[in-house]
């Protein structure tokens, strides 16, 4: 799949409440079979490095490093939810910066 065909937006209806909890929910065309290509495109968009990949019965979870900050990119198949969360709440400014990268990617 061509990564230029993948777009990401922040789910604005729940972004504010979840952003306070150190995560942002991301809207994109994704399903279980497309997770790898969509996640790779997202990692490339924010210029992060994948440190670890885990998969379960209905969950993909990648540990990312973004400028020294540990994040988790997660996809849950049952709810078709795709989100990015911080490991440490004190790194909220990094998540805010990533949110601006996501928004700018649609300009």
What residue ranges do the domains of the chain occupy?
A: 3-104
Instruction: Report the range of poorest mean pLDDT among 12-16, 19-23, 34-38, 78-82.
Output: 12-16
Is the predicted pLDDT of residue 32 greater than 70, yes or no? yes
Q: Which CATH number fits domain 3-104: 3.30.160, 3.90.320, 3.30.40, 1.20.1070?
A: 3.30.160
From CA 13, how far away is CA 95, in angstroms rounded? Answer: 17
What percentage of residues in the chain have a pLDDT greater than 70?
85
**Average confidence (pLDDT) over 15-33:** 76
Q: What is the pLDDT of residues 58-104, one digit of tens each?
A: 999 999 999 999 999 999 999 989 999 999 989 999 998 998 999 88
Q: Structure pTM? A: 0.84
Say if CB 14 and CB 28 are below 8 A apart: no
């Amino acid at each position: 799949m061509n990564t230029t065909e993948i777009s990401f937006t922040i789910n604005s209806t729940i972004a504010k409440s979840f952003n306070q909890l150190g995560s942002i929910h991301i809207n994109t065309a994704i399903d279980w079979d497309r997770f790898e290509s969509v996640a790779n495109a997202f990692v490339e968009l924010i210029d992060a490095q994948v440190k670890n990949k885990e998969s379960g019965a209905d969950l993909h979870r990648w540990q990312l490093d973004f400028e020294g900050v540990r994040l988790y990119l997660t996809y849950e198949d049952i709810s078709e939810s795709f989100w990015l969360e911080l490991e440490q709440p004190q790194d909220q400014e990094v998540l805010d910066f990533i949110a601006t990268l996501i928004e700018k990617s649609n300009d």
